[in-house]
Structure 1
Amino acid sequence: MITTLLKLRLVSAFAVLAFAAGLVVPQMVSNISIQGHRGARGYVPENTIPSFIKALDLGADTLEMDVVITSDRKVIVSHEAYFRAAISLDPSGRRIDPDDEKKHNIYQMTYKQTSLYDVGTVTDPAFPDQAAQKVSKPLLRDVFRAVERYAKQKGLRLPEYNIEIKSSPDGDGRDHPAPEEFVRLVMREISRARLVKRVIIQSFDTRPLVIMHREHPSIRISYLTSNALGAEKNIEILGFRPDIYSPNFLRLDAASMQYCRAAGIKVIPWTVNSIDALERMKGLGVDGVISDYPDRARRILIR
């Protein structure tokens, strides 16, 4: 009890000092987690260092991202295991034919080859507010370095990282290594950066989550789902209790919330962008949201 009171007093004192210094400390005002989806995809090209920096500026306490593997076993940040035609230019600066996009397979390229592609000049048509800029898919280690440096320079609280392992059984050996190697490569980067305590690993694929849970029990696990089975059935499929249940927000209902509350599992749905959807998630009592607009999410959920 004394320790708890002391911690609360220290937190309060720090918050006062931060306010006086003009710093933004998002986590100090709420237990609700605002996770920037692929950074701040609503404003900056997704899964890029500028996008993650923007998310910090907009009040995200957690940076959500996806990782894939190159042929030379580098971990890079990308939602697809290929260069998506809608947002990419090839090394010659030409648009990629949508019918051929999967031929630009990242797992078949070295990191140096992937760095020749431009994934920011052509903005995502689904996000008209995106600001174009020439940028490449970054190494996970470079994201860590850039974000940590920026947060320290700006006096921001250091963020958490919610990292999705992009794997599937039918992609083994074609789009990515087997899950055991995938987990090993990702954990190597996390350990080198000394970020184990600030990382969450998420996936739709249960295999890397099971491996991570077994071999790295100190890492928090988030189970991503998009089906209508509900929390209880999905977690039964997973085979263990994750730290976080992360469903498509359209599939989240009161029954799943009740189950997770009773089981001590946090609920952080994806990808919640509209004001109406954010209000509904707030009404359900979620522990956070993953959003392309962290500023909007923060405004609705934390007020």
Structure 2
Amino acid sequence: MKALLFLLFPVLAMAQTTPFEIEGHRGARGLLPENTIPSFKKAIDLGAHVIELDVVISKDKKVVVSHDTYFNPDITTDPDGIYITKETQGNLYQMDYKQIKKYDVGVRGNKGFPEQEKMKAHKPLLTEMIREIEKYTRQKGLPPVKYNIEIKSSEKEIGKTQPEVAEFSDLVYKIIVKELPLERVNMQSFDYNVLKHWNAQTLAGKYKKIAVAVLIEPRANNDVQVNLDKLGFKPDIWSPYFTQVTTERVKQLHDLGIRVIPWTVNKREDMEKIKALGCDGVITDYPDRAKSL
């Protein structure tokens, strides 16, 4: 019977030789305000092995934990208690962090996530967030958590909502090497210019080796070789939208020594399918739904 199961599920058997990682997307976005310290703590409490987060840059060159380069009008309240709109959403790259911190991103909740608890929350600095999470896991006697840090970058936004790729990358890299063991970090991005820069800096000896993940857009060509040719090097992790995953593609990537961790998987049945396809982990807004995977 065991031999028969292996023949039926060879990819699954291979994938299970390493732990299946649960990544809390923007912390536990389905339950607490995204990309905030309480949300990251919640993800850890629910068993996430990795916390996924996004970073942008402020006017005073601070690395801010935020998915957007502006204040999301669906969730943000200004310092005077007025709801942010599309007309007043601002540009974080044109604001000092001291000003950014005054805006609340939790008391309104998030209509897209009805289970999300409403609470006061601000956009933290990357340094603040790391130190709080490291202290939290030590105090609770929990295993050290990993960090999946996404650099939110677009070539057309340089000089508008972000600095040049080299400056952006250097600001993030300096915090990572100062605050964390490098084996507990990976950097990811949709922007191939960012990924190429990190690889080039590593090859030149200017950056120490940190795992790199390539994010694949849902509507992009998801052919593995096409993207590898475009990228110009072999990343450590392949992160496509979860509906793009197939058994054949997972095997192709595993044969190349690349781990496969798709995003953003929120239904339990989809999580189980992703694991059965042989993926190495899952990124989810609901770490509680991934328990026992």
TM-score over 0.5 for the pair: yes
2:109 to 116, 123, 138: 123
Does residue 148 of structure 2 align to residue 162 of structure 1? yes
Q: Which has the higher helix share?
A: 1
Does residue 212 of structure 2 align to residue 221 of structure 1? yes
**Hey, what does 2:258 align to over in structure 1?**
265
Shift of 1:185: 0.1
Structure 2 counterparts to residues 219-258 of structure 1, below 5 A: 219-226=210-217, 227-258=220-251
Structure 1: stretches of 5+ with no match in the other structure: 1-28
1:285, 1:258 → 2: CA distance?
8
Deviations 1:237-273 (A, max 9, x none): 1111000000000111223212101101000000001
1:181, 1:93 → 2: CA distance?
34
1:201, 1:194 → 2: CA distance?
13
Give the letter for the 2:21 counterpart: S
Would the aligned equivalents of 2:247 and 2:278 in 1 still touch at CA under 8 Å? no
Shift of 1:56: 0.4
**Hey, what does 2:73 align to over in structure 1?**
85
2:208, 2:257 → 1: CA distance?
17
Would the aligned equivalents of 1:231 and 1:245 in 2 still touch at CA under 8 Å? no
Structure 2: stretches of 5+ with no match in the other structure: 1-16, 202-206
2:136, 2:126 → 1: CA distance?
15
Percent of aligned pairs sharing the same letter: 46
Structure 2 counterparts to residues 36-55 of structure 1, below 5 A: 36-55=24-43
Deviations 1:170-217 (A, max 9, x none): 010111100000000001111221332211000000111111122125
**Hey, what does 1:288 align to over in structure 2?**
281
2:93 to 79, 98, 107: 107
SS at match of 2:117: coil
Shift of 1:233: 1.8
What's the RMSD between the two structures over aligned residues? Answer: 1.3
**Hey, what does 1:142 align to over in structure 2?**
128
Higher relative contact order (CA 8 A, sep 6+): 2
With over 3 angstroms needed to count, the CA separation of the structure-2 counterparts of 1:255 and 1:228, relative to structure 1, is farther
Would the aligned equivalents of 1:230 and 1:252 in 2 still touch at CA under 8 Å? no
2:53 to 65, 70, 73: 65
2:238, 2:139 → 1: CA distance?
33
Would the aligned equivalents of 1:232 and 1:259 in 2 still touch at CA under 8 Å? no
Shift of 1:224: 0.2
Deviations 1:12-55 (A, max 9, x none): xxxxxxxxxxxxxxxxx961111000000111000000000000
Shift of 1:232: 2.5
For normalisation by structure 1, the TM-score amounts to: 0.86
SS at match of 1:64: strand
Shift of 1:230: 2.6
**Hey, what does 2:6 align to over in structure 1?**
none
Deviations 1:56-89 (A, max 9, x none): 0000010100000000000010000000000101
Does residue 290 of structure 2 align to residue 297 of structure 1? yes
1:177, 1:214 → 2: CA distance?
18
Give the letter for the 2:115 counterpart: D
2:132, 2:85 → 1: CA distance?
32
Would the aligned equivalents of 1:179 and 1:207 in 2 still touch at CA under 8 Å? yes
Would the aligned equivalents of 2:261 and 2:283 in 1 still touch at CA under 8 Å? yes
SS at match of 2:291: helix
